[in-house]
Chain A
Amino acid sequence: MLPVFDDRGVSASIGIDGALYDEDAALAAAYMLTDRCHVAVDREGSVLTVTIRLKDGSGGEALKTACGDFGNALIDAALRARISDQTADIREALLKRAFGELAPRPGAA
């Protein structure tokens, strides 16, 4: 998942194994960079490609840092997605338990 920089060093592409990280995680991680970067996410087969370009047009260390931040954000996003999947049933049960009794009962005025 190492970034590949263009010849001017102002744009970086990161290939992501779709079997390891799902698209939602990649999108969530990309979203976190959108304050300072323009980010594009493309898919070809099972490979996701994320292209990162700093909004101020610079490159160098700032772009490398953005790529590193994306990698870390991707790991966190993937973990969050896993937690969400694993706890989906409990979350639903909690919501029903917490607010279900607020719903009108059949026959109630």
Chain B
Amino acid sequence: MPFRFHRLSADRVLLTNQGGEFALLDTADFDTFAGGTVPSDSSLHLDLKSKGFLTHGPDETELRVAASQFRTKKAFLEGGPKLHIFVPTLRCNQGCGYCQVSRAGVETCGVDMTSETASKAIDIMLSCPAKAVTMEFQGGEALLAFDMVKWMTVTASERAAKLGKAVRFVICTNLTLLTDEHLTFFAEHGVSVSTSLDGPAFLHDRNRPISGGGAHDIVVRNIARCNEALGSGFTSALMTSTVHSLPHARAIIDEYIAVGQKSIFLRDLNPYGYAIKTGHALGYDTDLFLDFYREALAYIIELNRNGTFFSESFACTLLRKIMTPFGVGFVDLQSPTGEGFGVVLYNHDGSVYASDEARMLGEMGDFTYRLGTVNDSYAAIFFGETMLDIAAAGVAESLPGCSDCTFVPYCGADPIRHYRTQGDPVGHRPTSSFCRKNMGVFRHLFGLLDSGDPEIERIFLSWLMPSRTVPPRPTWQP
């Protein structure tokens, strides 16, 4: 059967197939397999056959199973874009050095979305075939345009109900302006809160300064208010790693646990907006981020071993792809790319972009990936020339450097990032920081899965379970 391979080390080889199954072999077994001489009565034969790597036909059943696996992995395509990002305002009250957009001052005029624009954008969102969509409010600081957020939430709910569709709401906010009125509205309309917490006060306040100071204390206090008003699971936090973060992996994780979070998303810097302008001051080499990531993940695994449930979101995304039959709607790691296929963004000025990253380019004066405006038809936006260009560079299985890569069943293409960083949406994988980071994390996760430590697999599986608790240790040994 078709497969890809990668030498993890001098004596271990990773095999994957289109359905996302994997096998870890020593080189002797791999040579036997590649040579087509695996004895039919061997355990290796049974193992590889059960995972769809080996066949003597294939017969009808094997084909049906493999096709079903492949289709399930790509099921995220069905229904079109499901994440719809709205930018009600570009105004912001913080001055983050790594801001991915080109924020505007709190008093700036002409950077708020009008109700006419919002109305058209909501109609486009609800024109998508998906029966359930997520409407995410970003900024700027979305709470500076709270009246518009309220209007859009109520309007989208009413229109969706008439169409028999469901809308899930998420507001991305720095939480520094949170009031009881906000919380009451979020609770009434089931609005989830996504905020930013970069770690302890000395890190957060350095990365995310606010007039008057003390952003960290405000955010921590307001995360607690959100948890109390909305219940657990409705408030999540994201961190962005600057060069100042890298020596403090444990302190950052301890901070997240202290504020009651059950997971952390260890994010590297995005190459957009202010992050580019301040890149030399805040940026770092990908290998340094990987060192940070590995140290943080080791600490998180140690916490789980000792009975504290806590997960890392990027690892969860990859592990869900690796250890379950399902695909994941994570824009950066989809093939075909999530840009335009999984996500679409409606900017305050009515521009429609293929992703948040495409909007960030637009804010930098580059409109290459603007799909159109809210005045355009659904077909013009989603089947226009720009989407065709994205699609042409957005299928990882057909890109140089990716087509043969063993990690491609779990990875993505991200043409807009490669356009930004390398001047070419196809990109050059040997020098791509996107590829280097993802390959580094993939190799590390498979190395952990290959470590022979049953606790690792148990902990990883616990991260993928809806109950989000560490299951009891098995009393038997397999």
State A97–B58 Cα separation when bound (angstroms).
13
Contacts A/B (CB < 8 Å), 29 sampled? A28-B404, A31-B400, A31-B401, A31-B430, A32-B430, A33-B430, A35-B431, A76-B5, A76-B7, A77-B404, A80-B4, A80-B5, A83-B2, A83-B3, A87-B1, A87-B2, A87-B3, A93-B63, A94-B2, A94-B63, A94-B66, A94-B70, A95-B70, A97-B64, A97-B67, A98-B68, A98-B70, A98-B74, A99-B74
A-B contacts, CB under 8 A, total: 53
Whether B71 is near chain A, meaning CB under 8 Å from some CB there, is yes
List chain B residues, Cβ under 8 A from A98: 67-68, 70-71, 74
Name the interface residues of B50-80: CB closer than 8 Å to any CB of A.
Answer: 55, 58, 63-64, 66-68, 70-71, 74
Q: Are A97 and B400 neighbours in the complex by a CB distance under 8 Å?
A: no
Instruction: Tell me the minimal C-beta distance from B325 to chain A in angstroms.
Output: 13
State A35–B439 Cα separation when bound (angstroms).
15
Q: Are A90 and B404 neighbours in the complex by a CB distance under 8 Å?
A: no
List chain B residues, Cβ under 8 A from A87: 1-3
Give a binary string over B1-41; 1 marks a CB under 8 Å from any A CB, 0 the rest. Answer: 11111010000000000100000000000000010000000
List chain A residues, Cβ under 8 A from B71: 98-99
Name the interface residues of A58-109: CB closer than 8 Å to any CB of B.
Answer: 76-77, 79-80, 83-84, 87, 90-91, 93-95, 97-99
Highest count of chain B CB atoms <10 Å: which of A33, A90, A98: A98
Whether A46 is near chain B, meaning CB under 8 Å from some CB there, is no
Q: Are B34 and A79 neighbours in the complex by a CB distance under 8 Å?
A: yes
Whether B168 is near chain A, meaning CB under 8 Å from some CB there, is no
Q: Are A90 and B1 neighbours in the complex by a CB distance under 8 Å?
A: yes
Residues in chain B within 8 A of chain A (CB atoms): 1-5, 7, 18, 34, 55, 58, 63-64, 66-68, 70-71, 74, 400-401, 404, 428, 430-431
State A83–B401 Cα separation when bound (angstroms).
17
Residues in chain A within 8 A of chain B (CB atoms): 28, 31-35, 76-77, 79-80, 83-84, 87, 90-91, 93-95, 97-99
Nearest first, the 9 A-B pairs at minimum CB distance are A97-B67, A35-B430, A87-B2, A98-B67, A98-B71, A98-B70, A35-B431, A91-B2, A80-B404
State A35–B431 Cα separation when bound (angstroms).
5
**In the complex, what residue of chain B is closest to A79 when comparing beta carbons?**
B34
In terms of DSSP, what is the predominant structure of the interface of chain B? mixed
State A84–B18 Cα separation when bound (angstroms).
13
In terms of DSSP, what is the predominant structure of the interface of chain A? helix
List chain B residues, Cβ under 8 A from A79: 5, 34
Given known contacts A90-B63, A97-B64, what 10 new A-B pairs fall within 8 Å (CB)? A31-B430, A76-B7, A79-B34, A83-B2, A90-B58, A91-B2, A94-B2, A97-B63, A99-B71, A99-B74
State A24–B401 Cα separation when bound (angstroms).
13
**In the complex, what residue of chain B is closest to A72 when comparing beta carbons?**
B7
Instruction: Tell me the minimal C-beta distance from B421 to chain A in angstroms.
Output: 14
**In the complex, what residue of chain A is closest to B18 when comparing beta carbons?**
A94
**In the complex, what residue of chain A is closest to B62 when comparing beta carbons?**
A90
List chain A residues, Cβ under 8 A from B401: 31-32
**In the complex, what residue of chain A is closest to B7 when comparing beta carbons?**
A76
List chain B residues, Cβ under 8 A from A95: 70
List chain A residues, Cβ under 8 A from B400: 31
State A93–B66 Cα separation when bound (angstroms).
10
List chain B residues, Cβ under 8 A from A80: 4-5, 404
Instruction: Tell me the minimal C-beta distance from A69 to chain B in angstroms.
Output: 12
Instruction: Tell me the minimal C-beta distance from B440 to chain A in angstroms.
Output: 14
Instruction: Tell me the minimal C-beta distance from B341 to chain A in angstroms.
Output: 14
**In the complex, what residue of chain A is closest to B60 when comparing beta carbons?**
A97
State A98–B2 Cα separation when bound (angstroms).
15
State A23–B433 Cα separation when bound (angstroms).
28
Instruction: Tell me the minimal C-beta distance from B402 to chain A in angstroms.
Output: 11
List chain B residues, Cβ under 8 A from A84: 2
State A99–B69 Cα separation when bound (angstroms).
11
Q: Are A90 and B2 neighbours in the complex by a CB distance under 8 Å?
A: yes
List chain B residues, Cβ under 8 A from A31: 400-401, 430
List chain B residues, Cβ under 8 A from A91: 2, 18
**In the complex, what residue of chain B is closest to A34 when comparing beta carbons?**
B430
